[in-house]
Amino acid sequence: MFYESTRNSNLSVTSAEAIKMGIAPDGGLFVPHSRVSISQQTLADMVDMSYTGRAEKVLSLFLTDFTGIEIKECVEGAYNEEKFASAEVAPLHKLDNGTYILELYHGPTCAFKDFALQILPHFMPRAAAKTGDTDEIVILVATSGDTGKAALEGFRDVPGTKIIVFYPENGVSVVQKLQMTTQQGNNVAVVAVEGNFDDAQSGVKDIFTDPAMKNLLRDRHYKFSSANSINWGRLAPQIVYYFSAYLDMVKSGDLNMGRPLNFVVPTGNFGNILAGFYAKTMGLPVNRLICASNENNVLTDFIRTGEYNRKRQFHKTLSPSMDILISSNLERLLYELTDHDADTILKWMAQLSETGVYTVDSGIRQKINELFWSDFADDTETLATIKDTFENHKYLIDTHTAVGKNVYDKYVRTTGDNTPTVIASTASPFKFNKSVVRALLGEEALKGKDEFELLNILSRTSGLEIPSGLRDLDKKTVLHNTRATKVEMPRVVKEVLNIA
């Protein structure tokens, strides 16, 4: 299986090269050259497999230049009981007849990004070795909160790699900051940048593109790479849990093999839901993919009208991981739906960067409407949905998942579709404890409480244990207290790598 770029269909690289590079040299995203399918027999064989067995099967279809042993090592290094609090890895919770919640938050950082960022670090050194590269890989991350911690946990102590995370000193929550500054591991560094997220991000970009830095690294046998969400090595692992959810329902007898299922996905960068699209193209019986947005509803408008328009007000919402106006992974969907027409993608992406708007033609729009449905929920609806779900189903969900649940209720009211449906739960309610407590107990309950008291209040109210990754954070030792201005970031990198 070879990979091409969404902006150049003549490019042809192996999966190892695609993972090592992250993004194509022309700025496009890597996609499989041809359609990958899974036979009904293989699907049937997977019913009795564990999550790791299913992951090996699905990933081996995409990473054909990795050996079976290598894939097994990667999968077992990522999805084990030391890392995931649930033995099932991605358990399904039955909310009521026909509605299920896929809990994707039992990883070390309590959000679904662990599914990709626990395994990418295992792919990365193997991908480098396979492409004849013996350099040590240095991952640079600029984070607004969640990705940094997930990447740190994933890359910690992985041989052949180092990771340096830059976060905006005053741009992350107390819990997020402590999650990062107490990070253990012999190959990790965490740096507070004096400035906002844009400063951290442009600082990292400057380091990546500085020729002098590149030469220095090469001489010292280091190579930069990125753990960005557009890396194919982050997307492929997400395809697995769509299969796993389906197979679990078949296994429990709640679904007959071959019958269709809907998936609802709280969406930001379009990575998670795109993995669901690939699962469907492989032959998984998926009816509709329901794209749930918050008030930054650029995708809802796009799916309904065919016009992508990012020229709109940016809203800071209670589901911050979905506060995005440019959904990078959408480019892959458009490439697939235009039957790999790179010229058309180039045209649309140029229009997006020049004017902020592009419109797809009616044929593509129709295909999108057959596959997807979309709506959005604002913050008031999000809070009400958390409260409702807790009172009516005795089940606690976070703000992102609540957006999904609210949009699903709208879908059922609008379409009357009663196909069994799985809602992806992308974060633990404890990760967004402040909003969840507010939803359950009201604004008053927050007065004078810090985030750690709120964790305890949420635990008492729900009867659930605080996840170990968030517990006792205020008692852990702070191991990282390096600060830097944007200008000092290259010097910090050299110091960390001992090449100053």
Ligand X SMILES: *Cc1c(COP(=O)(O)O)cnc(C)c1O
Interaction site with ligand X (CB under 6 A): 111, 113, 146, 266-272, 321-322, 400, 426-427
**Residue 426 DSSP label:** -
Q: What's the closest the beta carbon of residue 143 comes to ligand X, in angstroms?
A: 11
Structure tokens, 234: 């982050």
- Residue 40 class from Cβ within 10 Å (0-12 exposed, 13-18 middle, 19+ buried)? exposed
Structure tokens, 150: 């997930």
- Phi, psi dihedral angles at 106 (to 5 degrees): -90, 10
Place of tokens 């911050």: 320
CA 301 to chain centre: 22
E strands along 176-285, which residues? 188-193, 222-225, 261-266
Report the candidate in 178, 146, 105, 152 with the shortest Cα–Cα distance to residue 450. Answer: 178
Nearer to ligand X, 138 or 298 (CB): 298
Nearer to ligand X, 164 or 230 (CB): 230
Helix (H, G, I), strand (E, B) or coil at 52: helix
Half-sphere exposure (CA, 13 Å, Cβ side) for 114? 26
Report the C-alpha gap between 164 and 140 in whole angstroms. 5
Report the candidate in 45, 44, 70 with the shortest Cα–Cα distance to residue 56. Answer: 70
Is residue 113 part of the annotated active site? The answer reads: yes
Structure tokens, 131: 């492409």
Report the C-alpha gap between 491 and 487 in whole angstroms. 8
E strands along 27-160, which residues? 30-32, 92-96, 99-103, 136-142
Nearer to ligand X, 193 or 322 (CB): 322
Report the C-alpha gap between 47 and 499 in whole angstroms. 51
Cβ-based neighbours of 384, under 8 Å, separated by 6 or more: 406, 439
Nearer to ligand X, 162 or 332 (CB): 332
Nearer to ligand X, 183 or 294 (CB): 294
Report the C-alpha gap between 495 and 481 in whole angstroms. 14
Nearer to ligand X, 225 or 426 (CB): 426
Q: How many CB atoms lie within 10 A of CB 39?
A: 10
Q: What's the closest the beta carbon of residue 477 comes to ligand X, in angstroms?
A: 27
Q: What's the closest the beta carbon of residue 491 comes to ligand X, in angstroms?
A: 31
Report the C-alpha gap between 332 and 214 in whole angstroms. 29
Q: What's the closest the beta carbon of residue 350 comes to ligand X, in angstroms?
A: 23
Cβ-based neighbours of 291, under 8 Å, separated by 6 or more: 265, 267, 273, 299, 300, 303, 372, 373, 374
Place of tokens 């033609």: 361
Which is the catalytic residue, given 113, 149, 405, 486?
A: 113
Cβ-based neighbours of 5, under 8 Å, separated by 6 or more: 11, 24, 25, 26, 28, 29, 30, 31, 342
Report the candidate in 225, 284, 298, 197 with the shortest Cα–Cα distance to residue 249. Answer: 284
Report the C-alpha gap between 369 and 365 in whole angstroms. 6
Amino acid in the structure at residue 457 = I
Place of tokens 């081996």: 60
Nearer to ligand X, 263 or 270 (CB): 270
Active site residues: 113
